Amino acid sequence: MLRRSALLAAGLLASGALLLSACTSSPTPAPSATEITPDPDAVANIRLVLEPSNLDIRETAGAALDQILIDNVYQGLVARTPDQKIVPSLASEFEISPDRLTYTFTLREGVLFHNGDELSAEDVVWSLEQVKKNATYRDSARLAAVEDIQADGQTITLTLSEPDSTLLWNLTGRAGLVLEKGDKTDRKTAANGTGPFTLASWKQGDSITLARNDDYWGTKAGVAEVVLSYVPDTQAALSGALAGQFDALTGFDATLTDKIEANGDFAVVVGKSTDKGTLAFNSTKAPLDDVRVRKAIRQAIDHDAIITALGAGQTQYGPIPELDPGFEDLSAVAPFDPEASRALLAEAGVSDLTLTLTIYSGYGTTVSQILVSNLNDVGITLKVNQVEFPTWVNDVYVNKDYDLSFVLHTEARDFENWANPDYYFTYDNPEVQRLYAESIAATDDATAADLLKQAARIVSEDHAADWVYNGASVVAVGTNISGLPSVNVNERLNLSELVKSKG
């Protein structure tokens, strides 16, 4: 059941700041739908950061695809809300047996694919079977416990070989997407889904345009089109917004709030997310194989200073963010304490230590500069090696050739990576692996979450990494629009309720 988490550069801000950490409220509320007069013929223009390399949702990694295609173009039997609740989608209802071995879904009637063909139960069975059978498909392993998939009329039944407490959640993601059996669409450049928007065009290197699906089975989208423009540089995006080119900017830099809100046309909305700014330690290399050294590094880091520098934020001291099951405040495990850090290094017999931080260059320098300063204060020299993302993937993700590495992991409920000794984190703890397996096999959600909580505490107490911050969804929203999500938008951006005012 283990898999590799999607890695997102979509929160990158080329101006030198990273995607910011989560806050519990918005400094300025977004306009409500009652405050504007929606124009059903409007075209909304939204800035995104990272463009996908292609559109094949089955085989191409990266949250940039999930962000724009899931919910908007492709759908599954179930979906998740921004606050992580699981709700019916292509299934009008579902039931789970008490032993968690049988999942029964009732497929909606009259759902059409974008090409006009009617969705059938056979399409659902085929879609799930294809994911299960093809290891090259993203999240194929998420259906490993599914032993049988059957359809009887509009009823679809999944039978499991053993309980899997994550299955329903998995079905809200790529593993559960329903495609048309026999469809010849080239998924790398086009799409044929069932969602409220069709994929109208893709101008590579520039933008993707979604058009309202007037044959949609549910409530029709509130705008005629949404143009998703890829502008990595935050200053360029800010200038474009002030010039009237954009109605909203995702991945915004909260330190620029005053500038974009100055004329009253935008409000910056900060919502929670599952983004985790993770400082990985290669514990297979000395002296990082010494838990005292790893703890010393953690206690040298001033997390609050990083949050202040980023302009918004929430600290995180363990592998599970607040939005995910199993979260616990673990700040007491490694509080900021440079004196304690120096003592741990001395106890470990480490002095004049030099380490290299490998980081994708698109993340800018804000976090790395603070890390360099903090570690220097306790006698550790930190060299920063900024690389292009393909280089990071090859050197760190694939070959595990690094000392320290910083990555913004966006995916929700991805604790499994800490139970996978082959993952680039290099963390191998049998007790954590046992607790994670027991969590998967649990037949009630409370037990599953408690087991994850126990495992997460062990990971933090082992100082397997440092969780520098819990990233936020920072969105600059035009006062001419409403209905734009503000929670977890770097992983999902459901545009079905977006409306834009006339004029």
**HEC sequence for 150-218:** EEECCEEEEEECCCCCCHHHHCCCHHHECCCCCCCCCCCCCCCCCCCEEEEEEECCCEEEEEECCCCCC
pLDDT above 90 coverage of the chain, percent: 84
Q: At which residue do the structure tokens 């985790």 appear?
A: 276
Whether 25 has a pLDDT exceeding 70, the answer reads no
- One-letter amino acid of 356: T
Q: What is the pLDDT of residue 27?
A: 32
Q: What is the band of 21 on the pLDDT scale with cuts at 50, 70, 90? A: very low
∠ CA 28-32-38, rounded to 5°: 135
Mean pLDDT value across the chain: 91
Helix, strand, or coil here: 296? helix
Which tens digits make up the pLDDT trace of 288-325? Answer: 999 999 999 999 999 999 999 988 779 999 999 999 99
Instruction: Round to whole Å and give the CA distance between 322 and 475.
Output: 20
- How many separate helices (H) and strands (E) can be counted in the chain? 12, 20
- Provide the whole-model pTM: 0.86
| 344 contact partners, CB below 8 Å, separation of at least 6 | 292, 293, 295, 296, 299
Cα torsion 189, 192, 193, 197 to 10°: value is 70
pLDDT in tens, 194-248: 999 999 999 999 999 999 999 999 999 999 999 999 998 889 999 999 999 999 9
Chain segment 376-419, per-residue pLDDT in tens? 999 999 999 999 988 999 999 999 999 999 998 988 899 999 99
Q: What's phi and psi for 63, nearest 5 deg?
A: -70, -10
Beta-bridge partner residues of 226: 44, 210
pLDDT of residue 26: 32
